[in-house]
Structure 1
Amino acid sequence: MRIEILHIAGCPHTAGAGQRVHEALSDAALDGVEVAFTLVSSSADAARASFSGSPTILIDGIDAFPSGTRTAELACRVYPTPAGLSGLPTVAQIVEVLERLTHGKTQATAAP
């Protein structure tokens, strides 16, 4: 598993995204997973990537929180959370995605 955080320059949520992802990885017992940060610096970069605003959290190249909205604009992103819209998903939301993905891979591996 590889996690990539796509962000724009000056995004106030980039560091928080990294902290929450690392905390979620620890909570999900997935220590040692690589987390990379990728600066999206142009509309062309955004159009090439699976970018849905900053920060976008990709797990193995797929948006962890797909909204159906990609953008080529260097823009911020909001996430629906139990407390309302936020610039970041909660740690619990990230853990849920990680567990769903790792559970699915375990089942796919175990299938005949």
Structure 2
Amino acid sequence: MRVELLVVSDCPNEAPAYERLRRALDDTGRSDTLIMVRTLTEDSIGSAAAFAGSPTVLIDGVDPFAEQATPAANLSCRVYRSADGVSGAPSLDELRRVVRR
């Protein structure tokens, strides 16, 4: 499994997204899976077709939360919807669900 976290510089939600993603991988028996963090710039955003705002999680090149998002045209923040409202990162339960697939 290839896991990437696409972020912009100084994203306030990078750390929570990374920590939740790491815990979800560990909790589902994938503790050996590396998380590649890729920081996007204005120049590189076009090469990241799946980028829908910071942070974006990609699993094997696919955004498992794509149905909630629209592609970002610039270096913007992303909002995730959950049963508890909106957040700047997916919940731990949502991340566990997508890494189990």
Normalised by the length of structure 2, the TM-score is 0.92
Question: Which whole-Å CA distance do the structure 1 matches of 2:46 and 2:63 have between them?
Answer: 14
What letter is aligned with 1:70?
A: P
Please report how far the alpha carbon of residue 7 of structure 1 lies from its aligned counterpart in structure 2 after TM superposition.
Answer: 0.3
1:10 equivalent in structure 2:
10
- Correspondence 1:85 to 2:81: no
Q: Alignment RMSD, CA only?
A: 1.1
Aligned length: 99
Q: Which has the larger radius of gyration?
A: 1
Larger RCO (CA under 8 A, 6+ residues apart): 2
Give structure 2 stretches of 5+ with no counterpart.
none
Please report how far the alpha carbon of residue 77 of structure 1 lies from its aligned counterpart in structure 2 after TM superposition.
Answer: 0.1
Structure 1 residues 1-112: aligned runs within 5 Å = 1-42=1-42, 44-49=43-48, 50-66=50-66, 67-99=68-100, 101=101
Please report how far the alpha carbon of residue 72 of structure 1 lies from its aligned counterpart in structure 2 after TM superposition.
Answer: 2.2
Please report how far the alpha carbon of residue 68 of structure 1 lies from its aligned counterpart in structure 2 after TM superposition.
Answer: 4.7
Cα contact 1:47–1:71 (8 A) shared by 2: no
Question: Which whole-Å CA distance do the structure 2 matches of 1:25 and 1:3 have between them?
Answer: 10
Three-state SS of the structure 2 residue aligned to 1:36 is: strand
Question: Which whole-Å CA distance do the structure 1 matches of 2:38 and 2:77 have between them?
Answer: 15
What letter is aligned with 1:95?
A: R
Question: Which whole-Å CA distance do the structure 1 matches of 2:18 and 2:89 have between them?
Answer: 10
Give the % identical residues: 36
Give structure 1 stretches of 5+ with no counterpart.
102-112
